Amino acid sequence: MLPTDLTVAAVVPLDGRYLMVEERSSGVVVVTQPGGHIEANETPEQAVVRETLEETRCTVKVDELLGVYLWIHPQTRQQFLRIVYVANLIGEDRSRALDDGIHAVHWYTPDDLNRRRKSLRSPLVMRSIEDFVAGQRKPRSFLDDMLPVQRNVDRVLASASLI
């Protein structure tokens, strides 16, 4: 079995729209929330703030833990464990360069995303927005006894919602 990819993502709402990035994945441009991998000695919250800044030039403040999701790619069988946070926009630094591989930054409504469903990086993108709109949240303390998550992937996997 392939190792599990441990990632974070941010759902950043603003006036009914959500912060999204276009990036290249496996040779195709896809739409997803800002996010990425957790670096050594970094908490998931720190990772999501860093990744959001690198990919969108936007500074955010983590507000809540939305959820923990597991998606298994249907062709490759690669597992993706995604920790998703709700974050509030603090500001944007347009003088900052976007991360390599990021083509554009957008603010999309759920309807915009539904129209682009075929270009979403994975079903996790829409599921995160749907869960946010439905008011689903996990307590901030949900991951506390599983930190650092890099050493407790099995425990985090056991708590994830399968997509």
Q: What is the 3-state secondary structure (H, E, C) of the chain?
A: CCCCEEEEEEECEECCEEEEEEEEECCEEEEECCEEECCCCCCHHHHHHHHHHHHHCEEEEEEEEEEEEEEECCCCCCEEEEEEEEEEEEEECCCCCCCCCEEEEEEECHHHHHHCHHHECCHHHHHHHHHHHCCCCECHHHHHHHCCHHHCHHHHHHHCEEC
Share of the chain above pLDDT 70, in %: 99
Mean pLDDT over all residues of the chain? 93
The model's confidence at residue 7, banded by pLDDT at 50, 70 and 90, is: very high
pLDDT digit string, tens, across residues 93-123: 999 999 988 999 999 999 999 999 999 999 9
- Pairing state between β 35-37 and 13-14: unpaired
Res 1 pLDDT > 70: no
pLDDT for the residue numbered 73:
87
* Mean per-residue pLDDT, 51-67: 97
Res 2 pLDDT > 90: no
For residue 76 the two structure tokens come to 């490759």
pLDDT digit string, tens, across residues 10-58: 999 999 999 999 998 878 999 999 999 999 889 999 999 999 999 999 9
